[in-house]
Amino acid sequence: MKITHHIEDKMCYYVSSETGRAEGYYVDLLANGGAGHCGCVNFGVVHFPKIKAGTRSYCKHILLCRNYFLDSLLTHLSNKERQH
Ligand SMILES: [Zn+2]
């Protein structure tokens, strides 16, 4: 499971399937008020109902993308910090 595409200027990613059962999943981190949305079955069955009920809940694909985003943001901030 890894990020194969990052759509620039949008917080959207394609994540390859771990099992190879699906081609991959489209993840939009800004959907659902920032809780995110994923095309996997697990998200639809387990996490989306919780989000609708007001609790943030993430599938592994969304967690991977959130971590990827945080990592690139922290790298960027760290590089800026070193310039001062
Ligand atoms: Zn997912």
Instruction: Give me 18's structure tokens.
Output: 């771990």
Cα 66 to averaged position of ligand 1 atoms, centre (Å) = 12
So what's the pLDDT on residue 83? 81
Per-residue pLDDT of the chain (84 residues; tens, 9 = 90+): 898 888 877 899 999 988 877 789 999 999 999 999 999 999 999 999 999 999 999 999 999 999 999 999 999 999 998 886
pLDDT of residue 35: 97
State the pLDDT at residue 74: 96
CA of 55 to the centre of ligand 1 (A): 17
**CA of residue 42 to ligand 1 center, whole Å:** 6
Q: What is residue 68's predicted lDDT score, i.e. its pLDDT?
A: 94
Burial 16-44 (b: 16+ CB within 10 A, else e): eeeeeeeebbebbbeeeeebbbbbbeebe
> How many whole angstroms from 33 Cα to the centroid of ligand 1?
17
